[in-house]
Amino acid sequence: MKKAMALASVVCVVVLSAVTAAWGQAAASSMPQIVEKDGRHALLVDGKPFFMLGGQIHNSSSWPGMLPAVWSAVGAMHANTVEMPIYWEQIEPRQGQFDFTLVDTLLQQARDHHVHVVFLWFATWKNGSDHYLPQWVKLDPTKHPNIVGRNGQPVDSPSPINPAGMELDSKAFAAVMAHLKDADPQHTLLMVQVENETGAWGSVRDYSPAAQKVFEGQVPAELLTPTVLKQLNRPVDAKGTWTEVFGADADEYFQAYSVAHYVGQVAAAGKAVNPLPMYVNAALRDPITNPKASTYESGGPTDNVIPIWKAAAPALDLVAPDIYIPDSTKALKVMDLYTRPDNALMIPEIGSSAEYTRYIYADLAHGGIGFSPFGIDDNGRAAGAEADAARLAPLAQEYAVLGPMDRELAQWAFDGKIKAIVEKEDHANQTLDLGSWQMTASFGGAGAGGRGARAGATANPAGAAATPATGRLLVATLGENEFVLLGTNCRITVAPAGANKGKAWHFLKVEEGHYDNGTFNLLRIRNGDETDGQGVRFDAGMTAVLHMTLYTR
């Protein structure tokens, strides 16, 4: 029997039909914004927290002929937002002459497909290089000099010590943002990424004579505040040249400040005409080993220089990690590092293979505002709908369930009500502490959560580590004894803890169903074999949503 049930304790009931109705309309709606409360964040869309279930398309897919395949992928994965590059080289093919037809096409087609967009401004920096500069800039090196390496070698990366280039990029970005203000009163566009994976590969900084002169000057005042200096582990009254203040880190910090200042100016120019949320993405460094700056993209918003980016580029709302690190210890550490009272966690790129899907739950548990696997479309391979569905199945499984409850999830994340477990590579049991209760997830490898999973098992024996870790559990605490659980590929046992420790207990009710339009729709009540004995099962290959209440005797 199917019965619609209102979940009385859901804090934020959202009328999704109103949101859906707004898609096609040209009426102005409220500006998307990122808000902060008690050190946590929300992306407000139409005035309410929204979680971006996104997908980023390939770099060369924002062209009209590529879009049918893009929409096929977006539909197959049930995304609510698509991240799409827009190209300075296409938008300003001749200096001062702007062409916004492509941007307009992207917006219109996104509306037709009922999704939001995030635009990625591919301009001075794309993966540390200058390859998206318009030809009229590329062919005039005075407009955009590249970095000179320590030994005088040319480096394929734009110099950030370039006020003229900064002005050209700022003007172009401001023109795009001004156009978007008029072209998008309904705010199909949620956020804008300014540049892409800034910094330099192949040189820690620019050693050209012009850059050297600036490097030998004083560290700018924005970095010499007690807050910034403390976060960089320097004396709060430090001042002087880059080398005097930052010693062995001077080269990297100089590059980070220079890039951040440049990008911050570009963002500020755009924001002055259209104050949408703006962010930058980072090519990460290893989050645990503190590697040498010469081994990663130097000057981008890596975890060690976040305070520099915050101080030098206040027009940016956040700095965001591109996560291509499958290892769960490292991936979770990255999320810890980018979740700060002054920085909302948003994951604008992450691998799209099955193992990465489980990190959606970790993102939500960190209070994150969005998640967007990279390379969702077929990239010109004419793969077709069936291939799209097969390629995107792990994500689609999750997005299909999370999509109709994205507003609830966003509100719970904002309120700090979500905790999560992602299966580790050793498949060991993990326990969530929920105050008066504990929940332990066990994993049985491939097909686990199915019959083979054993409650109470510890790490699987050697050899099992090769089995991909895909299990996951999300728990939203709605009341002392009331929880919403989402999960796949694991099994849960519950134990009384804290004030309930030692008490007799049982499930009061375990309802399985799905959310839609702010309502929990009941599929069945799980009882008997489905709760007793081995615990509560979440099968592989499907995401179940449970509304669970517990009681003590």
* Chain residues that interact with ligand DGJ, rule: CB under 6 A: 59, 127, 196-197, 322, 349, 374
CA distances from 302 to 299, 385, 422 (A): 8, 37, 24
Choose among 59, 208, 56: nearest CA to 126: 59
- Strand, coil or helix: what is 268? helix
Angle between helices 250-273 and 163-183 (to 10 degrees): 40
Q: What is the DSSP letter of 5?
A: E
- We find the least distance from the C-beta atom of residue 197 to ligand DGJ, in angstroms, to be 4
- We find the least distance from the C-beta atom of residue 428 to ligand DGJ, in angstroms, to be 30
Greatest CA separation found in the chain?
79
| Separation CA 207–CA 190 (nearest Å) | 38
Q: Supply 47's token pair.
A: 């005035």
Sign of CA dihedral 288, 290, 293, 294: negative
- Strand, coil or helix: what is 451? coil
Check: CB of residue 509 under 8 Å from CB of residue 489.
no
Judged by beta carbon, residue 55 or residue 444, the one nearer ligand DGJ is 55
Judged by beta carbon, residue 177 or residue 280, the one nearer ligand DGJ is 280
- We find the least distance from the C-beta atom of residue 374 to ligand DGJ, in angstroms, to be 6
- We find the least distance from the C-beta atom of residue 539 to ligand DGJ, in angstroms, to be 32
| Separation CA 109–CA 128 (nearest Å) | 30
Judged by beta carbon, residue 302 or residue 460, the one nearer ligand DGJ is 302
Judged by beta carbon, residue 320 or residue 405, the one nearer ligand DGJ is 320
Judged by beta carbon, residue 60 or residue 458, the one nearer ligand DGJ is 60
Judged by beta carbon, residue 119 or residue 412, the one nearer ligand DGJ is 119
- We find the least distance from the C-beta atom of residue 199 to ligand DGJ, in angstroms, to be 11
Judged by beta carbon, residue 127 or residue 397, the one nearer ligand DGJ is 127
CA distances from 218 to 147, 206, 243 (A): 21, 17, 9
Judged by beta carbon, residue 159 or residue 196, the one nearer ligand DGJ is 196
**254 alpha-carbon distance from chain centroid:** 27
SS3 per-residue string spanning 304-353: HHHHHHHHHCCCCCEEEEEECCCCHHHHHHHHHHHCECCECCEEEEECCC
- Residue nearest ligand DGJ, CB atom distance: 197
- We find the least distance from the C-beta atom of residue 196 to ligand DGJ, in angstroms, to be 5
Choose among 365, 364, 372, 375: nearest CA to 406: 364
Judged by beta carbon, residue 322 or residue 388, the one nearer ligand DGJ is 322
CA distances from 323 to 234, 280, 326 (A): 29, 14, 8
- We find the least distance from the C-beta atom of residue 227 to ligand DGJ, in angstroms, to be 30
Sign of CA dihedral 265, 270, 276, 282: negative
Burial of 209 by CB count in 10 Å (0-12 exposed, 13-18 middle, 19+ buried)? exposed
Check: CB of residue 257 under 8 Å from CB of residue 308.
yes
Judged by beta carbon, residue 395 or residue 405, the one nearer ligand DGJ is 395
